[in-house]
Structure 1
Amino acid sequence: MQKKRTVALGAMVAIGALGLTACGAGGGSDSADGTTTITWNMWAGDTESQEKLEAQMAVAQEVVGDDITIELQTAPWADFFTKLNANMASGDIACVTAINGQRLTGYTDAFAPLTDDDLKTAGISRDDYNPGALSVMEADGNLYGLPYDTATMFLFYNADLFEQAGVELPTNEWTVDDFEAAAKTITEKTGVKGFAVSIDEFQWLSLPMAASGLQPVNEDGELDLTNPDFVEAASWYGELVTDLGVSNAVPSASETTWDPTQFENGQAAMIIDGTWNATRYTDPENAFTGGAVRIPSGDDGPYGVALGSGYGISASCEDKEAALKVLGALTGPEAQAVIAEQGGYPAQLDSQDLYFDSLPAETKDNLTAAFTAGFDGSTAQRVTEEWTQVATAMPTELVSVYTGQTSMEDALASLQSRFAK
């Protein structure tokens, strides 16, 4: 198991899991003793996530010193953007607000673009990141935030089920054909499904993207779900349930944890999920031996996207200088070290080795190889202004595909007609 870092709260830190309610314009306020309170809004849906944020905040509080108090307010992921929309409408957004890179384009009005002078105030340099990591916080040529992590998608596997079926373990050189063959054999030999399909955004999109070499948004920034090559690859993904029988159908759009639950309960030999769950699925204390490899390659070779989330400064923040200092502390090397020890993959280049140093000996070689392969040549994900709406509507369409009520071609055409400009 990974070491747990204990952090002393050396300064006053305010914590509230009360939703996204900003205090004062932009969430910044001054007290009678001359200190400034900067509100930090972030998502957290369980006790573990909340505790991780509190540990990061404690380190950030030490960095900014006694003149600034950081106040953490959280909401579950499912509610975060609903409440952010409400705060945008009122013009009162917390000074430091989290944003998922895949949804940034729909929220740029909420954030102040970061200039080089702003980065200097935050104590951060562009050179601290590789371009792929920083790109997730960029839109229309502007930088709207700083990433705290960088991520891509992996294929996770249950090595025990592979051994039971007599199938060689996946490798970072695997192709889509290798994946399909293994899923079939495991299903036939063990009675356990070879793969768990998903209704979540990149958990399901990754294989069709790899198989087709295409993203659902084209290079011109237009929604392109009905591109024939993408439709063909996505249809194959749906057929893992309907024709090949190597996956069970997701029963409803509310089953948001369907695939990880199937995998962790030993009901599926493989899933696609983000690198942020790498230590979770490969923990030596799990009931099975887990491993990870990059997404299997299509005919055009390996294909993956760089993902991530970060924090920006709200356009309504009244004390931008103090907010920038908090931003720098939450994304700087001290907080990055905590994130690494918590199982997150830090965005800053100089902190990434800390992630591998924190891995158990049993999984270190496997995950190091997977991360090296998975990030090699990964490209920035493309989104449209309507992408959040597209992603929100996907689960219902996908369930209809998996349960045989509609075809993948018709499901993608429906999304295209509803959300393409």
Structure 2
Amino acid sequence: MHAILFPPVLLKPCLVRPPLWGAEYCYFHTHSILGIKTYIDPDTYEDPSLAVHEFAKEIDPSRIRIERVIGAGEFGEVCSGRLKTPGKRDIPVAIKTLKGGYVDRQRKDFLREASIMGQFDHPNIIRLEGVVTKSRPVMIVVEYMENGSLDSFLRKHDGHFTVIQLVGMLRGIASGMKYLSDMGYVHRDLAARNILVNSNLMCKVSDFGLSRVLEDDPEAAYTTSGGKIPIRWTAPEAIAYRKFSSASDAWSYGIVMWEVMSYGERPYWEMSNQDVILSIEEGYRLPAPMGCPAALHQLMLHCWQKERNHRPKFTDIVSFLDKLIRNPSSLHTVVEDVLVMPDSPGEVPEYPLFVSVIDWLDSIKMGQYKNNFMAAGFTTLDVVSRMSIE
């Protein structure tokens, strides 16, 4: 996988408002690099309420009808309801509320997520409808996702989907992550619990508040001086040195792939966090879930490369999944059938991503037999998987 090198781009600064430093205030506002908007950290604003109004629309609370409580967030309840749009149409929404008795710090943390979400515009990223900040309760209003979080949705429908449907879900998540990565935003907490699913099985990346409690299970988050980290989903360099990047998001994406293909199983099962950290360090990687196509487990293993520069970029992941979707026979070979996979899941093979028999032969250093395979009719991985010794 080769990075595409672009010529340097001159960024034009635009004077907006003072961030936290300096007497002469200059601020690089939303600018375009090769036509792609870049993300601005709301913490660079001296007053966080200015950031939220820069990126989120204020909604008149009379346009919101709260119907029922659907969950609890760190800061208050999450409800479903309806929002009357300026065109007088009612649309379903989810409403996060900030519970009474909050301090300014909590209000700032709560609205920070809206300041982040409001900068994004992509079909696979949860859409912010707006905020209520001028009356109580303070609210964040987002599009409503009928099927809730991906992990519980998959557990509820264990075994119900075709491999192509699952790959379609993974492709949507990768597309959303490619968009975030192109904008220079690092998610840090990519996990199936933070992906929402609508009635069309469309997956959208959500949960952009970084200060929240990451999991209810105190065992599941490892505390460092900079806050809690969800160990099972986090790349080794991010756990050890807090080096978060799009490459650490790619590691987490590999775990999300595993969660999807196992219908919401818990990564590393009942292993303790400390055992997970030590096992990863020693080279252990999650084995393929039952019935998982070999090509998908290979992609997972690529995402879990120890050296972060060796992991695929989200643009590579999207194009690889597109190839699989266009060539469904490449998904017929499941890991149990592929004799060349390592005996121990602790070994990470250095295979390139492949979708054709020719690529596969090259990857196992048998490229000289291409013509023999083609002549004998072994033209797809599916046919190869059914080869017998005769």
- Higher Rg: 2
- TM > 0.5: no
* Structure with the largest fraction of helix: 1
Higher relative contact order, chain-length normalized (CA < 8 Å, sep 6+):
1
